[in-house]
Amino acid sequence: MQQQLAQLVATARQESASVTTRAELEAFKARVVGPHGSLTQVMKGMATLSKEDRPVVGKLINEAKKAVEEILAALLQKVEDAEIASALSAPLDPTLPSPDAPAGNLHPLSRTRERILNSFRKLGFTVAEGPEVETEWYCFDALNTPGDHPARDMQDTLYLPKTFRSADAPRRQEEAMLLRTHTSSVQVRTMLSRRPPFRIVAPGRCFRRDAVDATHSANFHQVEGLWIDRGVTLADLRGVLDFFVKETFGADAEIRLRPSFFPFTEPSFEMDLRSPNLGRLSNRWLEIMGCGLVDPKVLELCGLDPQEWSGLAFGLGLERIAMLVHGIDDIRHFYQNDVRFLRQFA
Ligand code: PHE
């Protein structure tokens, strides 16, 4: 038995010298350790041995196995080295153009945002922006939101540990800093920095202390709208929103304004939309934004005379619109950045 094993290893070593390609390596491996390989056959013979002989032969077989494994490892190294060497020595044509870099595509939220902004651009709106880290005044006080309003609660809003000494408004000395809970703070910033009339849309990131699930994210996006002019009415609000909804969801989409409440608009509404182009959500009323006429108190707080100026405002959730347009059922897909998801929007 000992002799047989020594012979087997010697043969393997000898044969291995002629192996140069990966296919030859596989064939060689099968001949020795495959189901019908030479070493496998010897191992099967173990069953016929007597109890006393077994440990002795077992040891010999293990040694042979180790020797064969070493031969195989060395062969693999040799084959890989040869493969690399041959790849490197292939003739290179430096005059060929380099392969195109793989093209990326816009994130579905960016695409939806651009689509929405484009609809409003057609109505004369321009894009405005504001900071994500806000003071309490811009996010709440100037929007007529009282100190005890639930939205200002620590449970709902992410406050920063630091307070801020505002330079631009002496009447506000120290105030809390927070992550804006809505883009409505951009209404305030715009009214304070521009002369009406104007129409702006303000896209941006917002933050709330929400538990994350299929429809909630602590970080989400809104698009705010504000139109300040003389004599702006509810008819303008309806007209603007109806145009936007038809652009986004098709000419046969309809809107409905449901009375609601926001501290910064009066009257206030929830806008619902209904469209036959929404798959399983077709022809159902779906709530997609808050809106209303700018509360005279807010105009005053922002330095505009409510006798002269009036306005309309609205705020919509970008994720909600993108989910409806593309039939996406879980908000978390937007933030996981799985390319298999993202590629579908190329
Ligand atoms: N800011 C409100 C929200 O986040 C939406 C809104 C914007 C309502 C403008 C009315 C006017 O829910």
pLDDT tens figures, 189-225: 999 999 999 999 999 999 999 888 998 899 999 999 9
Q: What is the mean pLDDT of the chain?
A: 92
**Three-state DSSP state, 103:** coil
115 & 229 share domain: yes
Q: How far is the CA of 314 from the centre of ligand 1 (A)?
A: 6
Across 86-90, 93-97, 207-211, 297-301, the highest mean pLDDT is recorded for 297-301
Return the closest-CA partner of residue 293 out of 273, 318, 270, 265. 265
Q: How far is the CA of 313 from the centre of ligand 1 (A)?
A: 8
337 & 298 share domain: yes
291 & 330 share domain: yes
Taking the chain, what is the end-to-end CA distance rounded to the nearest angstrom?
66
236 & 328 share domain: yes
262 & 334 share domain: yes
Q: How far is the CA of 111 from the centre of ligand 1 (A)?
A: 22
How far apart (Å, rounded) are the C-alpha atoms in residues 112 and 326? 10
Residue ranges making up the domain that contains 78: 2-82
38 & 120 share domain: no
Q: Is 232 a member of any domain?
A: yes
- Integer-rounded Cα Rg, in Å, for the chain is 36
Q: Is 92 a member of any domain?
A: no
Q: What tens digit of pLDDT does each residue of 26-74 get? A: 999 999 999 999 889 888 888 888 888 888 888 989 999 999 999 999 9
Q: What tens digit of pLDDT does each residue of 96-108 get? A: 888 888 888 999 9
Residue 1 has pLDDT above 90, yes or no: no
**Three-state DSSP state, 133:** strand
Q: How many domains does the chain have?
A: 2
Average pLDDT over residues 253-277: 97
Residue 290 has pLDDT above 90, yes or no: yes
Residue 319 has pLDDT above 70, yes or no: yes
Asked whether 61 and 46 are in contact (CB, 8 A), the reply is yes
pLDDT at 94: 84
How would residue 162 be classed by pLDDT, with cut points 50, 70 and 90?
confident
Give the CA-trace dihedral at 217, 219, 222, 224, to 10 degrees: 130
Decide whether any atom of ligand 1 lies within 6 Å of the 182 Cβ.
yes
121 & 223 share domain: yes
22 & 119 share domain: no
Q: How far is the CA of 319 from the centre of ligand 1 (A)?
A: 15
Q: Is 296 a member of any domain?
A: yes
pLDDT at 171: 56
223 & 294 share domain: yes
Decide whether any atom of ligand 1 lies within 6 Å of the 265 Cβ.
yes
Q: What is the pTM of this model?
A: 0.72
Decide whether any atom of ligand 1 lies within 6 Å of the 262 Cβ.
yes
Instruction: Tell me the CATH number at 121.
Output: 3.30.930.10
Residue 333 has pLDDT above 70, yes or no: yes
53 & 117 share domain: no
Average pLDDT over residues 285-301: 97
**For the chain, what percent of residues have pLDDT higher than 70?**
97
121 & 259 share domain: yes
Q: Is 149 a member of any domain?
A: no
Decide whether any atom of ligand 1 lies within 6 Å of the 315 Cβ.
yes
Lowest-pLDDT choice from 169-173, 199-203, 291-295 = 169-173
Q: Is 16 a member of any domain?
A: yes
Q: Is 7 a member of any domain?
A: yes
Lowest-pLDDT choice from 40-54, 140-154, 252-266, 317-331 = 40-54
Decide whether any atom of ligand 1 lies within 6 Å of the 292 Cβ.
yes
Q: Is 99 a member of any domain?
A: no
Q: What tens digit of pLDDT does each residue of 112-160 get? A: 999 999 999 999 999 999 999 999 999 999 999 988 888 888 889 999 9
Q: How far is the CA of 138 from the centre of ligand 1 (A)?
A: 14
Tokens of residue 266, six digits: 């009066």
Residue 168 has pLDDT above 70, yes or no: no
**For the chain, what percent of residues have pLDDT higher than 90?**
69
Across 49-53, 293-297, 323-327, the highest mean pLDDT is recorded for 293-297
pLDDT at 302: 97
66 & 115 share domain: no
Q: Is 133 a member of any domain?
A: no
